[in-house]
Amino acid sequence: MMSNTTAKKPNPLFEILFNVFIPSFILMKFSGDEHLGTAMALVVALLFPIVYGGMDLIRNKKFNFIAALGFVSVLLTGGIGLLELDTRWLALKEALIPGLIGLAVLGSTLTRYPLMQKMLLNDTVLNLSLIKERLKENNQSEAFERCLMSSNYLFASTFAFSSAMNYFLATWIVTSPAGTPAFNEELGKMTLYSYPMIAIPSMLMMFGIFYYVWRQIRSMTALETEQIFHIK
């Protein structure tokens, strides 16, 4: 029986609504002086991802490094808009956040537990005892470690892609001065476009990495899928 203290998985629909669609809609439709005004529309729009992230932290009672960087990113976006800084700072900020995550992933390769190893080698999902036993029997343990290291580099490359695409989107879409309704509208458009142009491709890359590791496990252990995973 599962414990009641198990962290609840976030609802993907709510994540998209609170982090993408609602903020984008507010920025694009309510930034005019006849509605909320430039500054208030920016504040209200950014409150949604902040509140959603805060509620998720309270609910799960667990610090998440990537979520924390996302929170900082939202605050920096608000600061750039409210302080009316040059839009190049927005482009740099957009590139910096995924860049930092990518560097953290790369840095984890220098530790005993690279990030992908921690993510993938989960005994609740994989039949680790059987996998390790078969790897040892087939003299493939070192080859599997190299596979995990390669997957870690591939994972870091997805953040390099996000960093480059974020910078491109910011410089392409957000061209109006901060503190203007046009800036807010362009910021909303950038947020909206980032989902199909960055988030979905990055997700597909992640699935590709998991597929690669799964194929390597099958090849090195000669196990079937139902033996690799804990299938109820």
Which residue is listed with tokens 């190299």?
Answer: 146
Does 205 have pLDDT greater than 80? Answer: yes
Domain parsing of the chain, residue ranges: 12-228
Q: How far apart are CA 181 and CA 75, in angstroms?
A: 19
Alpha-carbon span 191 to 27, nearest angstrom: 10
Quick one: DSSP state of residue 6? Answer: S
Q: Quick one: pLDDT at residue 112?
A: 78
Q: pLDDT-derived band of residue 204, with 50, 70 and 90 as boundaries?
A: very high
Asked if 212 contacts 151 with a C-beta cutoff of 8 angstroms, the reply is: yes
DSSP string, 12-69: HHHHHIIIIIHHHHHHHHS-STTTT-HHHHHHHHHHHHHHHHHHHHHHHT---HHHHH
pLDDT tens column, 19-38: 766 777 777 776 666 667 77
Do 186 and 154 meet the contact criterion of CB atoms below 8 Å apart? no
Per-chain mean pLDDT for the chain: 81
Q: If we measure between CA atoms, which residue out of 205, 226, 206, 228 comes closest to residue 216? A: 228
Widest distance between CA atoms in the chain: 72
pLDDT band at 95 (very low <50, low <70, confident <90, very high): very high
pLDDT band at residue 89 using 50, 70 and 90 as cut-offs: very high
DSSP state of 229: B
Q: Where are the alpha helices (DSSP H) in 61-140?
A: 65-82, 87-108, 115-120, 128-137
Which residue did the predictor score with more confidence, 61 or 87?
A: 87
**Closest CA relative to residue 178, chosen from 90, 117, 107, 100:** 90
